[in-house]
Structures are given as structure tokens and as C-alpha cells.
Amino acid sequence: MKILHTGDIHLDSPFAGLSPETAKKRRTELRATFSDIITYARTESVDLLLIAGDLFDKNYVTRDTVALLRKEFSSLNCPVVIAPGNHDPADEKSIWMKKDIFPENVFIFRSTNLSSFFFEKLNCRIYGYAFEESSLRTCPLEGKAVENPAEINILCAHGDTASPISTYGPLPAGILENFGADYYALAHIHNPDNATAALTVPGAYCGCPEGRDFGETGVKGAVLVTLDKEHLELERIRFCRRIYEERTLNADGAAEQGEILSAVRALIQNEKFGDDVLLRITLQGSIAPEFSIDTSALTEAREGLFHLEVRNATTPTWNADVLKQDYGMRGELYRVLLPKLESADSMERETGSRALRYAMAALAGESLPLE
């Protein structure tokens, strides 16, 4: 049988950090990506669609989104199983508790207690549970095992394998192993590769189908699972329309805006980034203190990209002799910090130079990322 395993879709996400127009565009694209997932499930004739939580970003859902879900789920010939997560918990007010919203092929877990749906034609039982609020401190699988090992047993759940004391539905390895499912369809960790590789049971984190900020870089999608009692095959399918990428650029010794602009352009060209990319470039290295980089002007190198932002994390190089004789604010700062800068204690020297970097950046109207 074939299963499409998705989750962490976060419909109606705010896409903070983008301009209001771009954010609106991204919200529309995210819906289109969700529709692509449904279309894929239909055209590939999957037997089951699993949504392992966080279908919505917040537990209030726009009318358009509800209409979209009804339309898309109705278009499928297969069951859809949903296990609400920490962002869209099954509390009393949630859409999950309303009657007559979803078509008959949609099966929803509504309690933190483990339960299951059995699909006879597939000889397959889907176990799962719901978050009932934005946190879940216990593991609903604890002390449990599948009822009938002869069936194909699958867990569809939102949870955290990273820590046994997680407040997002801890899923300790031992408990998963003892449960004995043939596949664990998990969601919650948006960058799924490491968490999936660390699993000691057959399963995967699906990851989010669209990155939503620079914490969610790289290609995103869902997992196509082909399985029977003896075989399990996983394939990651790309669904994302856009990709977040981060790069650093060494601006050491740069003396003018044009140099940095060229370097930014070259980086974009070398990486062959296209209009599906949202790129953040962080400038590093030391530059002359009198040169103040205009990061917003650098975004003119954006052409061809969907979005470009440049962060300035360079540090100014100071000429101590000049600073000593500077009777302005910079020189005064230097003289105040001098005992620290020349201290025999290396910690003191470090504190002094860090204070000087921040202060110099502040005087230049820039902010340095906190160290």
C-alpha cells in the first residue's frame, strides 16, 4: 500500500519577516502547496493520507481555509487521518470538534488518549492521539503495544523524539520500540533529516512542506511511504514552491559599497539561485570603521531571487593610535575601555573588545548580532 505522510503545514502562517505583500503571497502559495499535496495523493492513487499535526498555524482558521479543506478532502477517494498537534490542538473551540465540517473520509483523533482507526480493505490500523492544548507532557504510547501484530500498524502522531522531558509530546525511543508499529508517521520537527536518521524504529518526520522562515532552510516536502508487512520504502517528495537559504560572505577589507554589491551578486550567480529562493546573506570579517555598509541598498542585487536580505555582522578594524588621539565620542569610548583592553586578564580583554565592537557599531547606527 501507498501512504502519503505529511504534517506541519501551518496554513495561515503569518510569514513574519517578509513585507506584508510578500507574506500575503506566501500564504496563498502555502495553500496552493497544500492543494498540490492533495492532487499528488489523488493522481498517485495513494491508499491513505496521514496528516500528523499542525495543519493550521493557529487554532483559529479562516473561512477560506475551511472551504479549501472541505473541497480538497472531498476530492480524495482515500481516507485522511489527522492527528492534531501543538499548533492546532483539539480543544473544545477547535474546528476538530465541530460536526459536519469534514467529509466522511476524514478521520480525526480528538483525545490525548491513544486510539485507532481500522481500515479493513487495507488490513491497516492507524493509531494516534491529539494534542488537546498547546503542550503535552506525557507520552500517550507509554506502556502500550499494538493490538494485533498481524495487521499493518501505523502510528500517526505529533510529538518530540528529541527529549524525554519535552513539553511537546515526548516520544522516547524505548516507548516507540515497545509499541511495535510498522511505520511511525511523525510531525513536529520541521527540518526532518537529523531527527529521522536518529529514529530507532521504522518511520520519519515529514518536515514542513514549505519553509516559513530562515530557521527552515532547504527543500521541503512530504514522505511517500510504500509498505506491506515485509517491506518499507520511503521517498521524500518535493512540494515547496520556495526555498529558504542562508549564506555568509567574507567582506574582509572591503572599503566601498560597490565591492560588496559585486560580491553579493557573484554569490547569487555562483549558487545559481533562482526565483524560488529566499536568501539571507550575513556579511562577516573586518572592515574599516569609517566605512558604513548600506545593507538595504544591497538588496538591489536581488533581481532573479524571490527575496534577499543582507545582515551586517562585520567588525570594524580600529587603529589604536588614531583612536587615542580622537577627541570625539569614539576616542573617549576607547580611553574608557583601555584598562580592560590592556588588562593582563584575557577575559577582561575579551569583554573590553566586545564592548568596543558593540559601542562602535551603535555609533555607526548598526546593530551586531549578540554573541
| Closest to Mn ion by CB, 84 or 140 | 84
CB-count exposure of residue 230 (10 Å: 0-12, 13-18, 19+): exposed
Among 51-59, 105-113, 145-153, 333-341, which window interacts with Mn ion (CB under 5 A)? 51-59
| Closest CB 47 distance from Mn ion, rounded Å | 25
Told to check if 54 binds Mn ion by CB under 5 A, we report yes
- Is 54 or 132 the residue whose CB approaches Mn ion more closely? 54
CB of 155 to Mn ion, least distance (A): 17
Question: Shortest gap between Cβ of 6 and Mn ion (angstroms)?
Answer: 11
CB of 337 to Mn ion, least distance (A): 45
> C-beta of 31: minimal distance to Mn ion in Å?
17
Site residue total, Mn ion (CB under 5 A): 2
For Mn ion, the closer of residues 47 and 210 by Cβ is 210
By CB under 5 A, residue 8 contacts Mn ion: yes
- Least Å distance, CB 96 to Mn ion, is 16
72: contact with Mn ion by CB under 5 A: no
Name the minimum Å distance from CB 210 to Mn ion.
12
Of 8-16, 127-135, 247-255, 296-304, which segment contacts Mn ion by CB under 5 A? 8-16
Which is nearer to Mn ion, 73 or 131 (by Cβ)?
131
**Does residue number 210 form part of the binding site for Mn ion (CB under 5 A)?**
no
Q: Which is nearer to Mn ion, 36 or 54 (CB)?
A: 54
Nearer to Mn ion, 8 or 160 (CB): 8
Q: Which is nearer to Mn ion, 159 or 316 (CB)?
A: 159
Query: Quick one: cell of 202?
Result: 521504522
Q: Is 36 in the site for Mn ion (CB under 5 A)?
A: no
Distance (Å, whole) CA 156 – CA 228: 17
Residue numbers of the site for Mn ion (CB under 5 A)? 8, 54
